[in-house]
Amino acid sequence: MNITVSANAKINLFLDITGKREDGYHNIASVMHSLDLHDSINLSFNKSGKITISSDNPYIPADERNIAYKSAAKFLSEIKTSQGVSIHIAKRIPIGGGLGGSSTDGAAVLSGLNYLFGHPFTEEELIRTGASLSADIPFCIKKGAALCEGIGEIMTPLPTFSCCYAAIINPRFSLNTKMMYERYDNEGGKSHPTPDAMIEALKHNSVDEAAKALYNAFELPAGAFRPAVLRFKERLLAEGAKGALMSGSGSYVYGLFDNYSYCNALCEKLSSENIYTVCARVI
């Protein structure tokens, strides 16, 4: 028995850090939105009694370091089974860019195993399990659009865009999430805008309004450390994006469009300049 699950990437349309917790984690207020860009996760039973990981991407760890592995181990432990599971990851989401690539793989593993084992857990129980592994897994289980608070596990569903596209640029370097939180903590005088304007933009299905409300608290610290982040953002705006922003803790930068042809044409233009770019629908 096997199943293939789509593991969708996400972007942060709004991301503020609202405080540091006693456990060392940070509370956030983030508006996340799924993309049609996705990995494909195939899950099947095996007779080894072990969890095995394979992928078409040689840079993905095939052991306990992989969140997909950790998610499977956590799930199997909670249902108290020694059943072996094989996981194959067809990787399409770029690695380490703030698009939720590893977390969404973990979310797909939890959802897929829940199906294979006859739904022993409710979605809310899966979300609690996922939150113990990665702050982005809860949203990646739910998908769509949501205001995510706490460490990301407190979610308020929001309307999704019906016609919005993202031109996503890979600056060809990654930014470590832990390091980015440290850089943020070491800065003073931070403002804390509310996500209200972005929420209204989604309610109005307005890419123009969303473009004005884009915000990421990590963007300036990232730009100070890696100026290319801000240069690529300016390039996207100069090329006609309605708005542009770094996603998550970086390093990928996206520009928003309400027209697929314009978005795709820009991606082709940038790709011809040897700038890694992908056009994705915001779903």
Per the residue annotation, which of 10, 91, 233, 242 is the catalytic one? 10
Structure tokens at 2: 């096997």
Task: Identify whether the C-beta of residue 166 lies closer than 8 Å to the C-beta of residue 256.
Answer: yes
The alpha carbon of 70 is separated from its chain's Cα centroid by a whole number of angstroms, namely: 18
Positions of E strands within the chain: 2-20, 26-46, 51-55, 84-90, 145-150, 154-158, 165-169, 215-216, 243-246, 253-257, 277-281
Of the candidates 39, 105, 136, 258, the residue annotated as catalytic is 136
Q: Which distant-in-sequence residues (6+ apart) come within 8 Å of 198 by Cβ?
A: 13, 14, 31, 210, 213, 214, 215
In a 3-state reduction of DSSP, which class is residue 172?
coil
Cβ atoms of 90 and 42 closer than 8 Å = yes
Using DSSP's 3-state secondary structure scheme, residue 202 falls into helix
Report how far residue 206's alpha carbon sits from residue 279's, in angstroms, rounded to the nearest whole number: 19
221 touches 194 (CB < 8 A): no
The question of whether 63 is a catalytic residue gets the answer: no
Active site residue 178: no
> Residue 43's beta-bridge partner residues?
3, 87
So which residues are the catalytic ones? 10, 136
